[in-house]
Chains A and B, each alone.
Chain A
Amino acid sequence: MNITTQNTGDGILIQVEGRIDTTNYNEFESAVNEVLKDDVKQIYLDCNGLNYISSSGLRIFLTVQKKMMAVGGKLKLFAMQPAIKEIFDISGFSSIFSIYPDMDAAKQG
């Protein structure tokens, strides 16, 4: 897994590549917690390079969503691969996350 973060002016962009599974989800969790520390109001999560996720990863997505909602912030996911979107659909996650086709759409949404 590879995680990069950058400031977009109106929030933070997180790019995650590779797999989020039971063996490495804590790396993703730490990176995200680092971003959340700074009272961020908008997180853009680029899922383009994410090619595998298990329930260990899904629980972090949900945790971040809950935290952002609690502070009136927004978590926006974009560029999700179809196989990952399918897992979000199965889990009922597609209706509780804002998922956009690309960064531009996420910015406007």
Chain B
Amino acid sequence: MEGTPKNKTLIIRNDIDELNRLVMFLEILEEEWNLPPALVPSLNLALEEALSNIIFYAFEKGSENEISIDFSLKGTEMTIILTDGGKPYDPTKKEDPNINLPAEDRPIGGLGVFLIKKIMNEVTYNRVDNKNQMTMVKRWN
């Protein structure tokens, strides 16, 4: 059975309150796919950081758009693909913050993409058919 991937998709609007639907969706996924308890909060965090960037910056203000989130589980590897029709934006190009700076010198913000890269094993970006496609892979034991 482990060889058969499981797939599920969530589609949200570009509205920040839709993140609450993500939380509920992940709770269901955790139960249905029997995921390890520590995994879902990490996935939630990586997804929130990625999706909030898309919701706040990818689209014209006031426009209604959809973002699709495809989950695929194979054994102990989860692949999540985010697809949006917004402005081209490659988050993997964002420079990492210097996390060794003292509090006085730390800029406020700039941690979102860094957290995604730290949580996920792989983060890649592609522009496909005029859409942003961000692929994140998480593996566990």
Interface residues of A (CB under 8 A from B): 21-23, 51-52, 54-56, 58-59, 62-63, 65-66, 69, 83, 87, 90-92, 95-97
Contact = CB atoms under 8 A, between A and B. Distances in A.
Given A22-B52, A91-B115, 18 more contacts: A21-B19, A22-B19, A23-B17, A23-B19, A52-B41, A54-B48, A54-B52, A55-B49, A55-B115, A58-B111, A59-B108, A62-B103, A62-B106, A63-B108, A66-B103, A87-B45, A87-B115, A96-B106
Contacts of A63: 108
A100 to B, nearest CB: 17
Contacts of B41: 51-52, 83
Given A59-B111, A63-B108, A92-B99, A21 B38 contact: no
8 contacts: A23-B20, A52-B41, A59-B108, A59-B111, A66-B104, A69-B104, A83-B38, A91-B114
Contacts of A87: 45, 115
A62 B115 contact: no
Contacts of A92: 97, 99-101, 106
Nearest to B102: A96
Interface of B: 16-17, 19-20, 38, 41, 44-45, 48-49, 52, 97, 99-104, 106, 108-109, 111-112, 114-115, 118-119
A91 B19 contact: no
Contacts of B20: 23
A44 to B, nearest CB: 18
Contacts of A54: 45, 48-49, 52, 112, 115
Nearest to B108: A59
A98 B112 CA distance: 23
